[in-house]
């Protein structure tokens, strides 16, 4: 795990790279610990075409998130796959599709933005900063309006 922390103009920023499946799990467990029922989970650029154990992990993780409260909205780049349909069934979770919008998946909750790479060397870059998170939330809202149910 590589970590970078900077203080700039009295604002705190942090960026952490989580490597491999275990690293992505560690980030996701941290997120479950910090979120409350007021904190929604949004994701965009989500795709089914990654190793199946990642899809199974996220189905289970989102079910755990339901127990904490809050809602999830997920923008897929594909539709009507097993993964898409599984997430669609989870309580307080809405999914839509907007084909071909992103090369990678981005998720946002609270003040954390996570950029996921599921390629040969899976990883997650987690950026903690209110301004960055708000910027991505605004981008997500614009795409959500364009997406199809």
Please write the tens of the pLDDT for every residue from 6-41.
Answer: 444 445 789 999 999 999 999 999 999 989 889 999
86: closest CA among 111, 118, 54, 114?
54
**Every domain of the chain and the residues it spans:** 2-146
Q: What is the mean pLDDT of the chain?
A: 90
Which candidate, 60, 134, 46, places its Cα nearest to that of 95? 46
Judge contact between 58 and 21, C-beta under 8 A: no
CATH code of the region 2-146 = 3.30.870.10
Nearest to 78 by CA among 147, 9, 8, 7: 147
- Give residue-wise pLDDT tens across range 68-102: 888 999 999 999 999 999 999 999 999 999 987 67
**Can you count the helices (H) and strands (E) in the chain?**
4, 8
Q: What is the pLDDT of residue 7?
A: 46
State residue 44's pLDDT score: 95
């Amino acid at each position: 795990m590589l970590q970078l922390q900077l203080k700039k103009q009295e604002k705190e920023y942090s960026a952490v790279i989580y490597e491999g499946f275990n690293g992505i799990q560690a980030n996701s467990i941290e997120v479950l610990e910090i979120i409350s029922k007021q904190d929604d989970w949004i994701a965009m650029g989500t795709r089914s075409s990654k190793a199946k154990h990642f899809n199974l992990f996220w189905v289970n993780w989102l079910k755990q998130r339901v127990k904490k409260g809050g809602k999830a909205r997920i923008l897929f780049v594909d539709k009507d796959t097993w993964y898409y349909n599984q997430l669609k069934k989870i309580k307080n979770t809405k999914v839509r599709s907007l084909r071909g919008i992103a090369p990678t998946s981005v998720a946002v909750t609270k003040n954390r933005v996570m950029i996921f790479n599921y390629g040969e060397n899976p990883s997650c870059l987690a950026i903690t900063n209110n301004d960055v998170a708000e910027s991505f939330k605004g981008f997500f809202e614009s795409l959500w309006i364009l997406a199809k149910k």
